[in-house]
């Protein structure tokens, strides 16, 4: 019985980190209504940035946040401005232009392979003060970096909710997400809102990067693994829903950790896909999404 509880604990912690990664995606999905296929690559950029900051300065990865987060925000902001907004403007009346999928995939290819060319394919890891540490809670072993990740997730989520509900920019973003044209008639520059939303989404990936490097390998295609998981989580939890992203993340984390007790990781991967497809067929708006005619 103990190993099930252990699996639940580890799964929840890791799952919350998945949820954090999916948070940026659900924000972008929910606000701009486009699939960002470069999402995983943004995470990869976040991880490499965090890696180099820590490696060069030796600081605690959580202090590296100060550098990583603004950098990633700016990166996301301009990515949206340069590449995605022009497509949205050109396809004004199309709700979800497929060109965006292609453009973001192009960005994904480019980012992953430039990184490959610049840094090589080897798996990197960095030693931090908390790497490999854990503590015991009764019979359960809790991994310290994962626990920090869990806490970071809670903090970021609460901050995001507060931001969207209470600040002017946050409310403008929510307005722009409901109806592009109506928001612009209200004096909101919806494209600037998209830039900000995208920037925030990418900045969150910076946080995830800092959270992951104490215990996760860094390599050019690390984004792909998270990419697919994030899409599944966002759909599971409901597009645009913050609690949905977190709970979806935990569900995926639990499937992986509990499944790992009984079968190999590739079969748990299959179960995740199967659950995803089932949810899509049965409950396409996800657990917390708004009901739409999907």
Partner 1 sequence: MTKETLDKIFKVVLVVGVFTLPLWMSSPAYLQIVILMFWYAYITTSWNMVGGWAGVLPLGHSAYIGIGAYTSTVLAIHYGVSPWIGMFIGGVLASLVGIIIGIPTLKMRGAYFALSTMAFGEGVRVFVENTDKLGPFVLNGPRGICIPLQESFANFQFMSKVPYYYIILIMLCLALFVTWYMSRIRIGYYLNAGGEESEAAEALGVNVAKYKVIAMGISCFMTALAGTFYAQLMLYFYPKALLGLDLSFEIAFISLIGGRGTLAGPVIGALLLRPVTDFSRIYFSSMLPGLHLVIYGLILILIMLYQPRGLQAPLSKFYDWLLNKITGNAVKKEVKS
Q: How far apart are CA 237 and CA 286, in angstroms?
A: 5
**Contact letters for partner 1, residues 93-132 (x by CB under 8 A):** ---xxxx-xxx-xxxxxx-xxx-xx---x-----------
Interaction between residue 294 and partner 1 (CB under 8 A): yes
Cα–Cα distance, 222 to 19 (Å, whole number): 16
Residues 16, 207 contacting (CB under 8 angstroms) = no
In the bound state with partner 1, the residue whose beta carbon lies nearer, of 126 and 269, is 269
Shortest reach from residue 179's CB to partner 1, in Å: 17
| Residue 274 near partner 1 by CB under 8 A | yes
Selected range binding partner 1 among 10-18, 144-152, 196-204, 267-275, rule: CB under 8 A: 267-275
Complex with partner 1: residue 8 or 275, whichever CB lies closer = 275
Quick one: 126 or 224, whose CB is closer to partner 1?
A: 224
Q: In the complex with partner 1, which residue's Cβ is closer, 103 or 152? A: 103
Rounded to the nearest whole angstrom, what is the least distance from the CB of residue 80 to partner 1 in the complex?
13
Total binding residues toward partner 1, as defined by CB under 8 A? 46
134 lies in the site for partner 1, by CB under 8 A:
no
Structure tokens at 96: 């979800």
Q: Tell me the C-alpha distance between 70 and 50, whole Å.
A: 12
Query: Exposed, middle or buried: residue 19 (CB in 10 Å: 0-12, 13-18, 19+)?
Result: buried
Q: Work out whether 3 is an interface residue with partner 1 (CB under 8 A).
A: no
SS3 91: coil
**Residue 168 Cβ vs partner 1, minimum distance, rounded to whole Å:** 29
34 lines the binding site for partner 1 (CB under 8 A):
yes
Q: Which is nearer to partner 1, 25 or 147 (CB)?
A: 25
Q: From residue 39, give the alpha-carbon distance in Å to each of 124, 156, 163, 247, 281.
A: 21, 18, 22, 19, 24
Q: What is the per-residue burial (b if ≥16 Cβ within 10 Å, else e) of 251-283? A: bbbbbbbbbeeeeeeeebbeebeeebeebeeee
Termini Cα distance of the chain: 41
Torsion sign (Cα): 177, 182, 186, 189: positive
**Interatomic CA distance for residues 259 and 116, integer angstroms:** 32
Among 213, 232, 252, 255, contact with partner 1 (rule: CB under 8 A): 232
Looking at the Cβ atoms of 34 and 44, the one nearer to partner 1 is 34
In the complex, the residues that contact partner 1 under the rule CB under 8 A are 29, 33-35, 83, 86-87, 90-91, 96-99, 101-103, 105-110, 112-114, 116-117, 121, 228, 231-232, 235, 264, 266-267, 269-270, 273-274, 276-277, 280-281, 284, 292, 294
């Amino acid at each position: 019985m103990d190993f099930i509880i252990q699996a639940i604990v580890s799964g929840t912690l890791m799952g919350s980190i998945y949820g954090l990664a999916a948070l940026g995606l659900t924000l972008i999905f929910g606000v701009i209504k486009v699939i960002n296929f470069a999402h995983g690559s943004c995470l990869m950029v976040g991880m490499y940035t965090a890696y180099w900051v820590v490696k060069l300065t030796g600081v605690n990865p959580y202090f590296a946040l100060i550098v990583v987060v603004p950098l990633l925000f700016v990166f996301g902001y301009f990515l949206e401005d340069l590449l995605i907004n022009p497509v949205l403007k050109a396809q004004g009346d199309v709700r979800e232009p497929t060109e965006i999928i292609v453009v973001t995939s192009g960005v994904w290819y480019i980012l992953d392979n430039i990184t490959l060319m610049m840094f090589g394919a080897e798996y990197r890891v960095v030693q931090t003060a908390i790497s490999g540490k854990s503590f015991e809670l009764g019979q359960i072993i809790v991994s310290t970096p994962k626990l920090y990740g869990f806490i970071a997730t809670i903090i970021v989520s609460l901050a995001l909710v507060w931001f969207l509900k209470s600040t002017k920019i946050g409310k403008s973003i929510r307005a722009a997400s409901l109806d592009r044209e109506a928001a612009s008639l209200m004096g909101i520059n919806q494209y600037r809102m998209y830039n900000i939303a995208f920037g925030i989404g990418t900045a969150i990936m910076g946080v995830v990067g800092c959270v992951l490097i104490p215990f996760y390998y860094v390599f050019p295609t690390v984004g792909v693994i998270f990419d697919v998981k994030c899409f599944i989580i966002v759909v599971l939890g409901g597009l645009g829903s913050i609690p949905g992203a977190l709970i979806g993340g935990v569900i995926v984390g639990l499937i992986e950790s509990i499944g790992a007790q009984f079968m190999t990781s590739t079969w748990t991967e299959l179960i995740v896909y199967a659950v995803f497809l089932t949810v899509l067929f049965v409950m396409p708006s996800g657990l917390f999404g708004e009901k739409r005619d999907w």
